[in-house]
Chain A
Amino acid sequence: MALALEVLVVSRLLCFLLVLRLGAGSEAEGVGEKFKIEGRAVVPGVRPQDWIHTARVLVEGEEHVGFFKTDGTFTVNDVPSGSYVVEIVSPAYRFEPVRVDITSKGKIREKRVEEGISGMLSGEGGHKARHVNYLKASEVIRLPYPIQIKSTGPPPYFLKRETWGWTDFLMNPMVMMMILPLLIILLLPKVVNTNDPDMRREMEQSMNMLNPNHELPDVSEFMTRLFSSKSSKSGSGSKAGKSGVLKRR
């Protein structure tokens, strides 16, 4: 009796695919028409028979409940038209909840049956806290049939223990800040041969580059000159003495 129809899917999470096929169910007694929500859920790498016995499909809390078939498909029957959040609950696997809008216009029923009911699916919940209302129509995507709700893996229920290891200690920023300069001080002179005249020239050049204003006297030079001029006599004397000794030799 149910007619398979076209599916309009609004999905915030483009990476995961979602299927819902909506069919017009048989007319129920009492108020309004009842529909069914059909779909399929997949846990990658796990056979359906290994997880479906702990899973259920909840529509708007526990208002409507559906169970899984052994092939991983599900049907929720007797749902009146409206907007619902469909959740697949399983303690072992996490599924994103989806919002399903079942629209029905009683007057153009035949047409509706021909065209089908559009299922508006959209991601809801999640940590980014965007609500369905904020979604734009441009984000509506038509998904091919059949489409699937894919599990995003087991939920992380547990915190990780902080374990003490040498790597943790070494990767500590403080330790890193202490060790890295130490390494630089110790290793750099060995890597760079300072005795090489080419290298020295290069270094001098780079130092000059760092000192953009050549006219300005360097402060340190100035200071040394200032102090050395005072003690120049003794300094030169000793130097002369030394050189004298050398000469004498």
Chain B
Amino acid sequence: MAPSLCLYIYSGLNQQRDVRLRYNNILGLWRTVVSVHSGILEDRAVMVVLSEIWLLFALFEFSAAIYEDQVGKFDWRRQYVGKPRFAHFDTPTQNARKLMVTTENNVIASLNLRNGEIIWRQVDKQGPEGNVDLMLFHGQDALTVSGRGRLLRSWDMNIGGLNWEILLEPGSFQTGSLVGSAEGVKYIAILKKASISLHYLTNGHQKWSEALPESEKVQYQLLYSSGSGAVYLVGMVAGSHLVVIRYDIEDGKIIEQVTVSAPWIRRLWDLCGIVADGILTCIDRESHSLWILPLESEHEPEQILLQSLELELPEKFEGKILTTQSSPLVASSAQFCLQLSESHYALLQLHEGVVTLLRDFVQAVLVSFATTGDKVVTAVMTAKNKTAFGINLYSAENGRRLLDTAMNFNLDPNCGQPEQLYIHAFLKKDDSVGYRALVQTLDHALIFIQQPGRIVWTREEALAEVITMEMVDLPLTGTQAELEGEFGKKADGPMAMFMKRLSSQLILLQAWTSQLLKMFYDARKPRSHSKNEITIENLARDEFNLQKMMVMVTASGKLFGIDSSSGTILWKQYFENVKPGSSFKLAVQRTTAHFPHPPQCTLIIKDKETRLSSLHVFNPIFGKRSQINPPVLTRPILQSLLLPIMDQDYAKVLLLIDDEHKVTVFPSSRNILQQLQDSAPVIFFYLVDPVWGKLNGFRLHKDLRTEEIWEVVIPTETQKIVIVKGKRSNEHVHSQGRVMGDRSVLYKYLNPNLLAVVTESVDTHHERTFICVYLIDGVTGRIIHESVQRKARGPVYVVHSENWVVYQYWNTKSRRNEMTVLELYEGTEQYNSTAFSSLDRPFSPIIFQQSYIFPSAISLVEATITDKGITSRHLLIGLHSGGILSLPKAFLDPRRPEVPSEQSREENLIPYAPELPIRSEWYINYNQSVSRVRGIYTAPSGLESTCLVVVYGLDIFQTRVYPSKQFDVLKDDYDYVLISSVLFGLVFTTMITKRLAQVKLLNRAWR
């Protein structure tokens, strides 16, 4: 028995050694390949080795998972809610803790007032169906009407769940309000275009619902109740008359219906309001007057000219009215605010039919009412200059300024102007009024300010709508730059070079010792102090280039520079003139690699309406606007290309093609134009016209004219182009082919000009709907492959990389999501192994295709990318659940055999299974779910094994993924202690045994 055991151990050792050898091989070969771009033979060797890497990794499980102790080590998440539409502080006392907001992004959330963090958040459906139309508050419940008046919900503000939810009857939603009666606030009234209904606050059940009289003519827009047992409804016919209806709360009977002639009426909202005890007050913009009409009596409306109030009116009077009602149980306050112009407000009082001016606010930015106890205050925000603002409180009763209520604060200069002011007023112990203010600015920032002007927290809600982003390498530190500069400068001679070398080595040594010293000192300090904050000053590239600058462009027109390792916002820049709905494109013209030239990014902003574009050049590290003046674009830009041609300052050339197919070059120095002329024959570009279903290819002439060379027309009667996707320009493909089981090589079809065009059928009937995928060469316009997926419907998500295209669609027949992979191969022989030219490809590629069931709906797909393309690829799939799944590309391999053979096993092909697996270990964001994923950005790092991933949507999540595990660095759980203790132990035992042996020898000699 013993000998066989020995053998077994031996073979085991052998195996281990084998693996290790392979490992060394990989690292060794990898180096040689990196330095020299190899020919076929070497490539083949590399491929063999690569497949061995694969073998090595196949020994382990597919891994994208992290360990529990790595949580938060290299990943972070920031959660946002979006631009608020309604905001409410939970209690009118000083110790209020929560702020309820509903936002334009259909989010209902509760924020912590102390630090601005989200306590809970519920994300509704996107689009108008999830839109929150109204939010009202009653005690600890928030009532929302959403989906164009479809759903009435009551939220428990403490828990974040629903108390109840009911479906409202169809009809376009107008307004809603709480209704007070003698027993307190018990109902909510919902006003629709043609009906009014009353619901219980306790369970949402409908008390009554009544059709509105003459609803097709009269627009009902105002609801009012003051605890008197009746609900007033005001409607109007523009330019004709007003209708006031009084409903009985108990049974919904019309008590009284009055029609008042009002030829001056235009609309009700923001021009009319209920003031004092049920008196309708309206602004007549044309005659510069106020109309006053008590709801209960049948008087004719009374006109009060604004001139009589000693108010200076601007030439173009655009008045608005602002009223307040502290509770539905009491009457509206007799004071109201009149906005005369952009910055001119007046506080007025209506008392016994007489309007008096209480206070005139000239130079006010925003005015808002707040109630605490029985006191009503008016908060007025004034601007001292562009960034300095002040808020003062005025008693609404008499218009006097309240003492000790001034608040002065400065806003960030890179911030928009205030747009909305929410005041949280409370009574202090001495019965005076204290307050806190929430300021919402045009760039969707929320700033919470405490007296006397201390900014407690700021939320950058613009980041809830990131449109595009780029990652830029951080600059080198001074010493690193010194080393780099050594090679860039002109050599003076060998001796000088040598001296230079020595001095730089000295500098390095110095830096290293100082770093060691710093580490030593830091170790002695308590933990909390040693944590050094990342600021814009100490930004420097780390050893493996894992820390980068994320430049994020948001829909509001605000740019952010975010440190990728910590998520700290390092700079922000707001463009005031960006209109909503503009589209953006970001191009990195110069990276940080060209010291001392600063890095340079160009943002192309395209206005939705005028379709005109503007260029904005800035430094992505500091966010500063560059000195370079970009060209002024007078025509709409259709396409932009970043060419690999560099000017003398190492800035890449941006070609902009306008709607007359004319080319604008930026930067347009002479050097550039010369280079462009030289390389013009090899510059091709394409334009896509989804309206006419056309794809056009163009070429550039030496004199920068363009010429159309091909056109592909997709019939718009049946199909529409939805996606056109090329390959990423920074993608490296390491191996030219795949080694098959029989040792032959299947060469990949690596066409860098390949476009994947996806069309969807216009007919969306589930029997006839289809999607079509065309692979078109962008230079020649040749359709290389075309595949139709019948009974399939979008949305289609496409990843196009290397020699493969993966797309996902909805199968209407089987009602499931499916993924299809297309892989292109040249065959076992390469046509031209040195260069790829689209113009010289006589053979069409071999195409493999396979489809799989994906067991979940997805919101986005992207592929990982690494520096040299050696590491295996993973697909990052954003799911609606908020998880980001990292699926190995090996599962999407069209050569997966149905029946595994010896050869396929050698190739490590996984046998075909129709359904792709989802394992919870593959979620790269574990429980840090990301809502409404809009984009996944992947960037290579300095380590081949590591890919940086940023997922953005409503939230932002950043992490690193290791698709083939960390093969090029020691793992973070590497057991230094064990290794060193074993080493020391061995040394120690050697010493002891040596000594013992000596003693033994000596003893023997004496015997």
Contact = CB atoms under 8 A, between A and B. Distances in A.
B874 to A, nearest CB: 16
A126 to B, nearest CB: 8
Given A91-B882, A177-B8, A53 B120 contact: yes
B296 interface: no
A166 B5 CA distance: 22
Contact of B927 (A91, A162, A181): A91
A56 B122 contact: yes
Interface residues of B, number: 65
Contacts of B8: 174, 177
A48 to B, nearest CB: 7
B161 A131 contact: no
B530 interface: no
Contacts of A125: 855-856, 918
A129 B917 contact: yes
B538 interface: no
Interface in A53-99: 53-54, 56, 58, 60-62, 64-65, 67-70, 75, 77-78, 83, 85, 87, 89, 91-92, 94, 97
Interface residues of A, number: 52
Contacts of A159: 63, 65-67, 921
Interface in A87-121: 87, 89, 91-92, 94, 97
B716 interface: no
Contacts of A177: 5, 8
Contact of B882 (A68, A78, A85, A89): A89
B167 A78 contact: yes
A64 B857 CA distance: 12
A44 interface: no
Interface string B131-171: 00000000000000001001101001001111111010110
B150 A161 contact: no
A29 B170 CA distance: 7
A238 interface: no
A12 to B, nearest CB: 13
B928 interface: yes
Interface string B42-84: 0000000000000000000001011111010000000000000
Contacts of A213: none
Contacts of A97: 856
Contacts of B162: 67-70
B914 interface: yes
A222 interface: no
Interface string B578-613: 000000000000000000000000000000000000
A157 B607 CA distance: 43
A227 interface: no
Contacts of B975: 164
A91 B919 CA distance: 14
A178 to B, nearest CB: 7
B224 interface: no
Residue from B12, B161, B859, B883 having most chain A Cβ neighbours under 10 A: B161
A85 B164 CA distance: 24
A212 interface: no
A70 B161 contact: yes
B477 interface: no
A68 B162 CA distance: 6
B920 A157 contact: yes
Contacts of B356: none
A49 B159 contact: yes
A164 B67 CA distance: 16
Contacts of B66: 157-159
Given A58-B880, A62-B126, A181-B5, A94 B920 contact: yes
Interface in A123-137: 124-127, 129, 131, 133
Interface string B93-129: 0000000000000000000000000001111111000
Contacts of A155: 920, 923
B998 interface: no
Given A161-B69, A181-B1, A67 B921 contact: no
Given A92-B927, A174-B12, A178-B5, A156 B921 contact: yes
Contacts of A36: 167
A70 B159 contact: yes
A62 B857 contact: yes
A52 B159 contact: yes
A181 B2 contact: yes
Nearest to A154: B927
B160 A53 contact: yes
A68 B883 CA distance: 20
A48 B917 contact: no
A14 interface: no
A131 B921 contact: no
B37 interface: no
A26 interface: yes
Contacts of B1: 181
A44 B984 CA distance: 51
B767 interface: no
Lowest 5 A-B CB distances belong to which pairs? Answer: A61-B857, A53-B160, A129-B915, A89-B881, A157-B926
7 contacts: A53-B120, A54-B120, A75-B165, A125-B918, A129-B915, A157-B927, A159-B67
Given A69-B164, A89-B929, A91-B882, 4 more contacts: A70-B156, A70-B159, A91-B928, A158-B926
